[in-house]
């Protein structure tokens, strides 16, 4: 659309929503104006000071009316700037117009204008409703878990044929406190992206006021499931397994903390296991052997309590794994609260009794006393767990320090060395078997050769002992004559 006005010697031209000013005597402006009139024109009626109000308004105000409502992720770097400038935007005064001169009388004219105007309203669960994407895109296989938030289903996506875990809220979330937790989990997943020790996020949507989150499917279940299975079978995680668990989860926490975020709800039910079959050995010729072994990968999931390290909005997680300083609303060392919870998670995997929710034993743990562990562990591992639950959060190691800790690295090297020893032993056994096989083959060939030689000798001796007529000069021949 195009419209033009002539006011005080200026041509005011609006072409496709862009307002231009040209001097009336400028030939180039007259040329552009004539081109604009070729596109199309419309008459404009003026009332009072409406002309100057249109002059002062920018295109951004039209963009606000056309921009759809979206959420602002509080965990992105851009949101930091938005939160810091939010107060200034709200304090901005209304623009006053002087009909006599058409000047902007805004008091705070020195404030910079944002390049991009974010919508003021957030989209809610209700506004996201659409046709059932769950039933259309996914085929439900089975229910694999449930919790306070909702239920988790194992599903196969019809398009790509891959298996995913779909989490669905139990009750409608629109307008409830759980809605913020659900959105917080989606925000955190979107910011964290992909990491080998964090459950991967794919998408999220709402149906009938219920939130659905599509995550990576971990075929080994949760650590809590594994602990329960061990309890039923009267076994525990071995020390090498405990060190491996501690190292892998520490790597996941290191990544989360590097994004200036904290998990705030580390516990066995929020750590998931992915088992991948890999070749256990490789022959010298480069061909993979038929033997396969399971590689266990631990992944951190359930990010509903994630918050920022700076300006946190803390919602307390499971009290059994909660650090005392968080309960006292001391949020100066929030990453160390994750370290505290990780230590108790490893203690549970070691076979300890269920942790208390309160009482004297709860306070003893917060004072640095480990719960009783029903198996013999090395003193170096026990000392590491003790320092991780130190009552002073500053004395607890960070996730960065944990992934470099000598106890955990030595365990990793030891297991690699042990695998190398076992591989060499198997190769030695294989070489011995090959030698024995060659000896057996040579012995068999020799036996066959001897048998063949014996047969030949027997045949020759039999031939020599057979009666025969002598043919030669010394043989007396009979002569028969016939006389007629």
360 is catalytic: no
Cα(375)–Cα(432) distance, rounded to whole angstroms?
Answer: 39
In a 10 Å sphere around its CB, with 0-12 CB exposed, 13-18 middle and 19+ buried, how is residue 80 labelled? middle
Relative orientation angle of helices 239-258 and 406-465, to the nearest 10 degrees: 130
Rounded to a whole number of angstroms, the CA Rg of the chain reads: 41
3-state class of 481 per DSSP?
coil
Q: Are 258 and 268 in contact (CB under 8 A)?
A: no
3-state class of 208 per DSSP?
coil
Give Dmax (Cα) for the chain.
179
Dihedral-angle region of residue 217 (phi above 0 means left; psi in -120 to 50 means alpha; beta otherwise):
beta
Dihedral-angle region of residue 275 (phi above 0 means left; psi in -120 to 50 means alpha; beta otherwise):
beta
Q: 150 a known binding residue? A: yes
What's the Cα-to-Cα distance from 103 to each of 53, 55, 59, 95, 222, rounded to whole Å? 9, 10, 18, 10, 66
Q: How many whole angstroms from its chain centre is CA 101?
A: 60
Q: 149 a known binding residue? A: yes
CB atoms within 10 A of CB 213: 24
CB atoms within 10 A of CB 227: 21
Beta-bridge mates of residue 146: 151
Within 8 A by CB and 6+ apart from 307, the residues are 184, 261, 262, 264, 313, 314, 315, 334
Q: 151 a known binding residue? A: yes
Q: 145 a known binding residue? A: yes
Q: 175 a known binding residue? A: no
Q: 302 a known binding residue? A: yes
Q: Are 163 and 154 in contact (CB under 8 A)?
A: yes
Q: 148 a known binding residue? A: yes
Within 8 A by CB and 6+ apart from 274, the residues are 216, 218, 219, 220, 296, 297, 298, 299
Q: Which of 178, 209, 265, 318 is catalytic?
A: 265
> What's the token pair of residue 31?
């040329």
Beta-bridge mates of residue 2: 15
Within 8 A by CB and 6+ apart from 68, the residues are 119
Residues assigned a catalytic role: 265
Annotated binding site for Mg(2+): 270, 302
Annotated binding site for ATP: 144-152, 167
Annotated binding site: 144-152, 167, 270, 302
């Amino acid at each position: 659309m195009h419209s033009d006005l002539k006011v005080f010697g200026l041509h005011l031209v609006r072409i496709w929503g862009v307002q231009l000013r040209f001097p009336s005597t400028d030939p180039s402006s007259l040329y552009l104006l004539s081109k604009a009139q070729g596109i199309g024109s419309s008459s404009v009626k003026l009332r009072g000071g409406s002309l100057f109000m249109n002059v002062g308004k920018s295109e951004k105000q039209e963009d606000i009316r056309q921009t759809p409502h979206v959420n602002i992720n509080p965990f992105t770097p851009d949101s930091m700037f938005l939160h810091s400038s939010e107060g200034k935007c709200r304090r901005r005064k209304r623009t006053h117009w002087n009909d006599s001169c058409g000047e902007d009388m805004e008091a705070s004219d020195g404030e910079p204008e944002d390049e991009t105007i974010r919508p003021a309203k957030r989209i809610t669960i209700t506004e996201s409703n659409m046709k059932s994407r769950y039933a259309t895109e996914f085929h439900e296989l089975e229910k694999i878990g449930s919790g306070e938030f909702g239920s988790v289903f194992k599903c196969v996506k019809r398009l790509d044929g891959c298996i995913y875990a779909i989490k669905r809220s139990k009750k409608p979330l629109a307008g409830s406190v759980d809605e913020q937790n659900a959105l917080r989990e989606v925000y955190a997943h979107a910011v964290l992206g992909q990491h080998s020790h964090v459950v991967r996020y794919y998408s999220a949507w709402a149906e009938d006021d219920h939130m659905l989150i599509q995550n990576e499917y971990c075929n080994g279940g949760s650590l809590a499931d594994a602990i329960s299975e061990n309890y039923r079978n009267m076994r525990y995680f071995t020390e090498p397994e405990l060190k491996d668990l501690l190292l892998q989860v520490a790597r996941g926490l290191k990544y989360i903390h590097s994004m200036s975020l904290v998990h705030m709800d580390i516990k066995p039910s929020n750590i998931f296991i992915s088992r991948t079959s890999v070749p256990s050995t490789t022959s010298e010729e480069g061909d993979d052997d038929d033997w396969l072994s399971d590689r266990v990968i631990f992944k951190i999931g359930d990010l509903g309590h994630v918050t920022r390290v700076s300006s946190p909005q803390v919602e307390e997680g499971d009290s059994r794994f909660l650090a005392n300083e968080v309960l006292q609303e001391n949020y100066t060392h929030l990453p160390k609260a994750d370290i505290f919870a990780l230590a108790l998670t490893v203690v549970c995997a070691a076979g300890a009794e269920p942790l208390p929710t309160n009482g004297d034993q709860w306070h003893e743990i917060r004072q640095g006393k480990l719960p009783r562990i029903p198996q013999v562990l090395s003193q170096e591992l026990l000392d590491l767990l003790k320092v991780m639950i130190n009552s002073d959060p500053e004395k607890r190691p960070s996730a960065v320090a944990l992934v470099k800790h000598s106890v955990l690295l030595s365990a990793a090297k030891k297991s690699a060395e042990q695998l190398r020893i076992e591989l060499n032993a198997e190769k030695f056994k294989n070489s011995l078997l090959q030698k024995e096989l060659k000896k057996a083959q040579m012995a068999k060939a020799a036996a066959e050769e001897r048998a063949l030689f014996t047969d030949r000798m027997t045949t020759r001796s039999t031939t020599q002992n057979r009666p025969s007529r002598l043919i030669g000069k010394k043989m007396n021949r009979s002569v028969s004559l016939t006389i007629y």
